[in-house]
Structure 1
Amino acid sequence: MPSHIVELKQPSVTDPSPRQGELPFTLQDLKAAIPAYCFVPSVWKSLFYFFLDVSIIAGLYALAYFLDSWWFFPVFWLMQGTMFWALFVVGHDCGHGSFSQQKWLNNLIGHLSHIPILVPYHGWRISHRTHHANTGNIDTDESWYPVTQSKYEEMHWSEKLIRFNLLLIAYPIYLFKRSPGKKGSHFLPSSPLFRPSEKWDVLTSTFLWTLMMGFLGFLTYQFGFLFLVKFYLAPYIVFVIWLDLVTYLHHTDPDIPWYRGDDWYFLKGALSTIDHDYGLINPIHHNIGTHVAHHIFLNMPHYHLITATEAIKPILGDYYRKSDRTIWQSFWRSYFSCFFVPDTGAKVYYQSPEK
Structure 2
Amino acid sequence: MSSTTIHRINLENPLTDTSSTAQTELPFTFQDVKSAIPAECFAPNVWRSLAYFFADTAIIVGLYAAAVYIDAWWFYPIFWFATGTMFWAFFVVGHDCGHGSFSRLKWLNNLIGHLTHIPILVPYHGWRISHRTHHQNTGNIDTDESWYPVTETQYKEMDWLGKLIRFDALLLAYPLYLFKRSPARPTASHFMPNNDLFRESETQDIITSTSLWLAMVGFLGYLGFTYGFLFLFKFYIVPYLIFVVWLDLVTYLHHTEADIPWYRGKDWYFLKGALSTIDRDYGIFNDIHHNIGTHVAHHIFIGIPHYHLKTATGAIKPVLGKYYRVSNVPIWKAFFTSQKECIFVPDSGTGVYYQSAKD
**Structure-2-length-normalised TM-score:** 0.97
Give the equivalent residue in structure 2 for 1:313. Answer: 317
Letter in 1 for 2:146: S
Q: In the alignment, does 2:173 pair up with 1:161?
A: no
Give the equivalent residue in structure 2 for 1:6. Answer: 7
Letter in 1 for 2:39: A
User: Helix, strand or coil for the counterpart of 2:327?
Assistant: coil
Shifted more, 288-297 versus 18-27: the winner is 18-27
Letter in 1 for 2:95: H
Give the equivalent residue in structure 2 for 1:178. Answer: 181
The equivalent position to 1:219 in structure 2, one of 199, 202, 223, is 223
Give the equivalent residue in structure 1 for 2:246. Answer: 242
| Residues 138-179 of structure 1, C-alpha deviations (whole Å, 9 max, x = no match) | 000000000000000000100000000000000000000000
| Residues 198-252 of structure 1, C-alpha deviations (whole Å, 9 max, x = no match) | 0000000000000000000000011000000100000000000000000000111
User: Hey, what's the Cα distance between the residues in 2 that align with 1:178 and 1:204?
Assistant: 20
The equivalent position to 1:297 in structure 2, one of 281, 298, 301, is 301
Counting matched residue pairs gives 355
Give the equivalent residue in structure 2 for 1:24. Answer: 27
Residue 312 of structure 1: how far off its partner (Å): 0.3
Shifted more, 2-11 versus 97-106: the winner is 2-11
User: Hey, what's the Cα distance between the residues in 2 that align with 1:225 and 1:291?
Assistant: 38
Q: Which runs of 5+ in 1 are unaligned?
A: none
8 Å Cα contact 2:255-2:277 kept in structure 1: yes
| Residues 78-133 of structure 1, C-alpha deviations (whole Å, 9 max, x = no match) | 00000000000000000000000000000000000000000000000000000000
8 Å Cα contact 1:13-1:28 kept in structure 2: no
Give the equivalent residue in structure 2 for 1:123. Answer: 126
User: Hey, what's the Cα distance between the residues in 1 that align with 2:227 and 2:90?
Assistant: 26
Residue 21 of structure 1: how far off its partner (Å): 1.3
Give the equivalent residue in structure 2 for 1:345. Answer: 349
User: Hey, what's the Cα distance between the residues in 2 that align with 1:305 and 1:163?
Assistant: 30
Residue 13 of structure 1: how far off its partner (Å): 7.0
Equivalences for 1:229-268 in 2 at 5 Å? Answer: 229-268=233-272
- Cα RMSD (Å) of the superposition? 1.3
Letter in 1 for 2:130: S
Q: In the alignment, does 2:166 pair up with 1:132?
A: no
Residue 181 of structure 1: how far off its partner (Å): 1.6
Q: Which runs of 5+ in 2 are unaligned?
A: none
% identity of equivalent residues: 68
User: Hey, what's the Cα distance between the residues in 2 that align with 1:279 and 1:237?
Assistant: 22
Residue 12 of structure 1: how far off its partner (Å): 2.6
User: Hey, what's the Cα distance between the residues in 1 that align with 2:219 and 2:86?
Assistant: 20
User: Hey, what's the Cα distance between the residues in 2 that align with 1:323 and 1:218?
Assistant: 45
